[in-house]
Amino acid sequence: MNRSFLIVYITLLGITIGAELAAGAFVAPVIFHPESYLGNDVLTHFQSGILMTQVFLKTNMLLGAIALYSIFFEVIAWSTKTKKDILCLVFSLVIVPLTALFLFYYTPFIVDAQILGSAATTSDIFNKMHKESEMVMKLLMVVQISLLLRRVWLIEQKA
């Protein structure tokens, strides 16, 4: 396997983790607390949620692409002798379903609830699903970081 694909892989993993952290740690607090910057009665919580969903819909494209790149890279690496690592393969095999859950289960649920209106986004089931989606995203980031660190560590071992 070409070293260039490995460098692109590690870079894309880092970018993805950074995008996830930026969305959750930097963007969300600003969007959900616009009164801190623009005064009161700027956006309702529902409107802030719609904006935040748009951020995640764009981030989801990156998440999906990297999950696919990851599984293809790790399966191909597993079939070669030079980059084979069972831990990296397992991390990638965990990333794919977590990403799929976030993209194809939680995100559509949240979008559908927003289409129904603000009452649907204040229900107990919505709050439960939203909390679950946050947990899935946090777990996904932990596994992605673990994979990134493992791949970097393996490069250092060969150097």
Q: What are 85-106's pLDDT values in tens digits?
A: 999 999 999 999 999 999 999 9
What integer pLDDT is reported at residue 80 of this predicted model? Answer: 84
Q: Which residues contact 103 (CB under 8 A, 6 or more apart)?
A: 60, 63, 64
- Domain span at residue 54 reads 3-158
Task: Return the half-sphere exposure (C-beta side, CA atoms, 13 A cut-off) of residue 144.
Answer: 31
Distance CA 55, CA 130 (A): 15
User: Is pLDDT at 35 greater than 60 in this prediction?
Assistant: yes
Distance CA 145, CA 108 (A): 26
103-117 mean pLDDT: 96
Number of domains the chain is built from = 1
Distance CA 67, CA 93 (A): 9
Place of tokens 């939680």: 106
Under 8 Å between Cβ of 133 and 102: yes
18-29 mean pLDDT: 95
| Average pLDDT taken over every residue of the chain | 93
pLDDT exceeding 70 applies to what percent of the chain? Answer: 97
137-146 mean pLDDT: 98
Res. 158 pLDDT band, cuts 50 70 90: confident
Dump pLDDT digits (tens) for 64-88: 999 999 999 999 988 887 668 999 9
